[in-house]
Structure 1
């Protein structure tokens, strides 16, 4: 990823958030530039370039700096390929870039989340050798519950 990729990266990010039924998309080019190219970048991305100013896919990653193992955890936030480029090997190449990045940065593995109803993605990930984590399920404290908990005086 280079700074000139940011407009297309933002387009791809909006596409995956829409696909994931996400709301309140607040990312902007300025935020991506600040967060991705600052002195201490908060994320990185590998992109599939298909021409000047055009991207077909992305693998966005970040690191959780502190775990119980005293090692950081590499997280893939998003892997997204534009629908017209799916099945062309771009997803596998981006996963390989993530694996190379993991090895280069001293990670033995990396993790990501997948929607429970996204069978094509699950099949793709199994095809590259990934396995579903049998020990963890994601939990969320939504706004209403958060507010109740904060307001609970007992």
Structure 2
């Protein structure tokens, strides 16, 4: 089952974010607190949204965390999928596809024309999964990021 997250889900979403960061070999970079997550998802002006995948017993086994972006070329919003994660014991059970299907459904229903995300180059199982759904890499674009000291220096 796929459902929208509620405030009571923040601890389990936070735990799965940390599990994902560990899988991606970057646990030390996952510094967000539960309170920050709660504010981002359920504060006065939510900046992001989340969906949970649950097994037949109602146990959370995965999540998708996303936010709206905007295409100046198409003139409409899209969805940027920040995180998609399914716990190792539940992989292969269709939960990742169900989460992506729900986001695609929302895009179609709301007139959004893009569903985008990034994947680490070394994550071959995820790349194969995404391509099996019809997703294609945007190899002509390179992602750039400013963080930490470089961001502070530029913003000063």
Further displaced range: 116-125 or 66-75: 66-75
- Taking structure 1 as the reference length, what is the TM-score of the superposition? 0.84
Q: List structure 1 runs of 4+ shifted beyond 4 angstroms.
A: 141-151
SS of the aligned residue for 1:4 comes to helix
In the alignment, what sits opposite 1:126?
131
Alignment partners' CA distance in 2, 1:139 and 1:31:
24
Q: Please, which runs of 5 or more residues in structure 1 have no aligned partner?
A: none
Change in CA separation of 1:109 and 1:147 when aligned onto 2, cut-off 3 Å: closer
Q: Please, which runs of 5 or more residues in structure 2 have no aligned partner?
A: none
- TM-aligned CA deviation for residue 123 of structure 1: 0.4
- 1:19 matched to 2:23? The reply is yes
- 1:117 matched to 2:122? The reply is yes
CA RMSD of aligned residues (A): 2.2
Further displaced range: 140-149 or 66-75: 140-149
SS of the aligned residue for 2:29 comes to coil
- Taking structure 2 as the reference length, what is the TM-score of the superposition? 0.83
Which of 110, 122, 133 does residue 105 from structure 1 map onto?
110
In the alignment, what sits opposite 2:83?
78
- TM-aligned CA deviation for residue 73 of structure 1: 3.2
| Higher CA-based Rg | 1
Alignment partners' CA distance in 2, 1:9 and 1:47:
8
What aligned pairs does 1:4-153 form with structure 2 within 5 A after superposition? 4-22=8-26, 23-50=28-55, 51=57, 54-64=59-69, 66-69=70-73, 70-141=75-146, 143=148
